[in-house]
Amino acid sequence: MSHIDTMTEFSDQSPLRRKARASLSNAAGRFDLQRAAVDDGWSNTTDSDEPGVPRIETDIRFEQARSLINYNKSPDLPFDRSINTYRGCEHGCIYCFARPTHAYLGLSPGLDFETRLIARPNAAELLRHELSSPRYKVATLAIGTNTDPYQPCERDLKLTRDCLQVLSEFAHPVAIVTKGALVERDIDILAPMAARGLVRVGISVTTLDPDLSRRMEPRAPSPARRLAAIRRLRDAGIPVRIMCSPLVPGLTDHELEAMLAAGAEAGADAASWIMLRLPREVSTLWQEWLAEHAPLRAEKVMNRLREMHGGRDYDPRWGQRMRGEGPYADVISNRFKAACKRLGLNQRSEPLRSDLFARPPQAGDQLALF
């Protein structure tokens, strides 16, 4: 139930060992100054396709969190609070902007991020406690802003589902972001909430090319499967946004209109886009991935990104970090707007309701007189 002090650095990075993983390296995080090769109890080396070449298995540790709701004041975000039931994400998307957060745990933003996960088994209990506070002021709560709430381990742990049960009991508005088809499992909770104007789901689609998707986000559902999830959610009356996020210049940008059209055909009623972001260690990891999987496009991709960020790989300034600036960023923005108008995805979404929020009766509450 504790954080990890040191982590084993993988010495064998053969393709077989990295199968179904995106990161090519596992460099020490910036706070792990004395990284040592030790057996810390996480290693789980099972047989692979080649004798003597162990696969990198997923390991999960549990953390008894002290608080759950995170607050932010970012003008780039349409919400001011969020929750995350997991740290790290098994989907392994090489471009994930959340990778650097693993460094705060003394872990690598590389392979550790997608193989050394931390789950918060008391998440629902904490959420209920925080929502029950007399000082709590209701506003839409976001789930999935850092790591995916429907990554593979959620199938067994059900921490996201437990939190949704709490939000449903409190009639609390919630916005979910995911690329996991497992969201369909919770339609029994989400559909009644949607009927009351309490939920919206965003499904991230980064490419329609299944081969590129498998290499770039190795353990996420295929693009076709995500589109099927949009359709099933909409059939259940749940509003869904297709999120073209991230859009990769020189690699997936040509698919923008096709992705939006596929989302509209599946039933999405809104859309959004975010340009590829490369904060801190993500830039190195991304460029390693490009060199192996798209070497002929690597220079073009990086030149486009730097063109939009004043010559840097990434500009963290509010108002610039999500979209970039300059002629290329303007072209993408105009293409997005034109496609959304043509497809009917430019309608303003109705705000989620906050007026229904109510704290359910708690054990020990004084009974009402009337």
Mean pLDDT of 357-361: 92
List, for residues 256-295, the tens digit of each pLDDT value.
Answer: 999 999 999 999 999 999 999 999 999 999 999 999 999 9
Across 8-36, b (16+ Cβ under 10 Å) vs e yields bbbeeeeeebbeebbbbbbbbbeebeebe
Which pLDDT value is given to residue 46?
Answer: 35
86-87 and 174-178 strand pairing: unpaired
Which pLDDT value is given to residue 49?
Answer: 45
The residues with which 60 forms a beta bridge, in sequence order, are 117
- Contact between residue 91 and residue 179 where contact means Cβ atoms under 8 Å apart: yes
Chain length of the chain: 370
DSSP class of residue 78 equals S
The residues with which 86 forms a beta bridge, in sequence order, are 119
List, for residues 197-239, the tens digit of each pLDDT value.
Answer: 999 999 999 999 999 999 999 999 999 999 999 999 999 999 9
Which pLDDT value is given to residue 24?
Answer: 64
Edge-to-edge strand list for the sheet holding 59-62: 59-62, 116-119, 86-87
Q: Distance between CA 305 and CA 314 in Å, rounded?
A: 7
Amino acid at 42: W
Ordered alpha helix ranges (H), 69-186: 111-115, 123-131, 154-157, 159-169
Residue 174: helix, strand or coil by DSSP? strand
Across 282-313, b (16+ Cβ under 10 Å) vs e yields bbbbbebbbeebbeeebeebbebbbbbbeeeb
Residue 340: helix, strand or coil by DSSP? helix
Q: What is the pTM of this model?
A: 0.84
